[in-house]
Amino acid sequence: MRSVSNGTMRGTRVGAGPAGEPDGRVVTVAKVVVIYHCANRHRTTVPFIWTATRPPQWECRVCSEPAGTDPLDPPPANNSRVARYMGEKIHHMGRVRDRRTQAEGDQLMAESLRRRDHPEDFDVWAKKGSSGPSRSKGLADRRQ
């Protein structure tokens, strides 16, 4: 944190050097910034190393639509997906239901309730089939 009075950093020694990477070890690489345009007129800038091949399309960071490098001819919009980001309000449970079926949700809920009600069955430290003391009791016995 820099102090307001003289611009020095508190808690550092004189001659300690810059915070983070030392200047001698940093290698700068030439970059090319590519601007992608989507059908909704959003601009997405993506930096690439100059030797990398740049993809013809990129996903728009605003609306997740495909974006191309030509601003006059962007790729066509995927209308089913754009409705989700542009106005249609979906709450958290709506997104969860999109990812899982009702049967999968019931199975996850049953497992969660079993873990809550019987945590001893899900102890990762206990050996399977042994009726000996649990790991915490074993550590307490060693300390005595």
Supply the CATH number for residue 62's domain: 2.20.28.270
Let me know if residue 134 belongs to a domain: no
Q: What is the pTM of this model?
A: 0.42
- Residue 112: which domain range? 90-117
Measure the CA–CA gap between 110 and 97, rounded to whole angstroms. 17
Assess whether 94 and 80 both reside in one domain: no
Whether residue 113 is found in the same domain as residue 64: no
Residue 5 to residue 78: CA distance in whole angstroms: 55
Q: Of 67, 86, 105, which one is at a domain's C-terminal end?
A: 86
Low-confidence residues of the chain, pLDDT below 50? 1-3, 81-86, 132-133, 135-136, 138-140, 142-143
Find tokens 């089913």 and name the residue. Answer: 80
Percent of the chain exceeding pLDDT 70 equals: 60
How big is the chain, counted in residues? 144
Q: Find, among 37, 33, 32, 31, the residue nearest to 69 by Cα.
A: 37
pLDDT at 131: 53
pLDDT of residue 85: 45
Residue from 102, 125, 96, 120 nearest 110 by CA: 102
